[in-house]
Amino acid sequence: MSREVVVVSAVRTAIGTFGGGLKDVPPCTLAASVVRESLARAQVEGDQVGHVVFGHVVNTEPRDMYLSRVAALDGGCGQGTPAFNVNRLCGSGLQAIVSAAQAIALGDTDIAIGGGAENMSRAPYASLASRWGIRMGDAKMVDMMVGALHDPFHNIHMGVTAENVAAKMGISREDQDALAVESHNRAERATQAGYFKEQILPIVQKTRKGDVSFDADEHFRAGCTMADLAKLKPVFLKENGTVTAGNASGINDAAAAVVLMERAVADKRGLKPMARLVAYAHAGVDPKYMGIGPVPATQKVLEKAGLT
């Protein structure tokens, strides 16, 4: 007997830019906040959750090593609810949802939470030589945030892999800028129209001037135009480069969570699903062209879903 997986609630924080409104909020705190809110929206008691899975890449403090479990307990789940972290870099949050869905599909539980939390602004510098003694001379500090953005096989930045894809696929600077402008403009229009308000959980921080509520995405460039982006110089390749600070992926801080449930259980509870899981797929590509990975993955999932 097949078990259908549905989404019964979903919530996220607003997206903070690098060094922005969430730079002082630990990822465990962000994760616990969205877990608590996702449970409330799904009308689920914490001890009814059978598994919690969170995507997380860069540890910012010791608690992050078991961020999923911290998020589960601090977010209201029972002590008997197991949890685990997953790391698939940029795809970690999606993998967490897939892993949580698999637990339901296999009959391990009827209710699970999948999510992701990252605070790139809080990524630490590591002194890799300090534990056993530097003995003499200067010690190098390794930026773990920048390290996470480097291909481990060729030691090239993700921005360089984007340049590789652009060159191979014939994607011009103008093409990239046009897509970036459209993306920034759409995000701005959606924010102004209030389309994101329902999905965003405000994060309240206590300051000397009182409580401050972070409740709006701050990464997009307001009023962005092609002329604005045309002024920016390439960041990763000085000669014939096309990737800039305006059309590249952002460095952000945020968290999100969804409550997944077996369809029959959701129906019995009188819950209206937001979505159902039809199919998922993974793909691997040449690391030098990592950005093209979603293409074969999309082809695979369309085939699995019978939509090709």
Task: Collapse the DSSP code of 55 into the 3-class scheme (helix H, G, I; strand E, B; otherwise coil) and give the result.
Answer: strand
Residue 72 pLDDT more than 70? yes
Distance CA 138, CA 149 (A): 25
Q: Which has the minimum average pLDDT: 38-52, 69-83, 133-147, 178-192?
A: 133-147
What is the average pLDDT across 35-51?
Answer: 98
pTM (two decimals) = 0.95
Answer yes or no: is pLDDT of 105 > 90: yes
Q: What is the pLDDT of residues 149-162, one digit of tens each?
A: 999 999 999 999 99
Strand-pair category, 51-55 with 83-86: parallel
pLDDT of residue 1 exceeding 70: no
How do the domains of the chain map onto residue ranges? 5-124+250-305
Dihedral of CA 12/15/19/21: which sign?
A: negative
> Would strands 51-55 and 111-119 be described as parallel, antiparallel, or unpaired?
parallel
- Fold exhibited by the domain 5-124+250-305: Peroxisomal Thiolase; Chain A, domain 1 (3.40.47)
Q: How far is residue 4's CA from residue 276's CA, in Å, rounded to a whole number?
A: 7
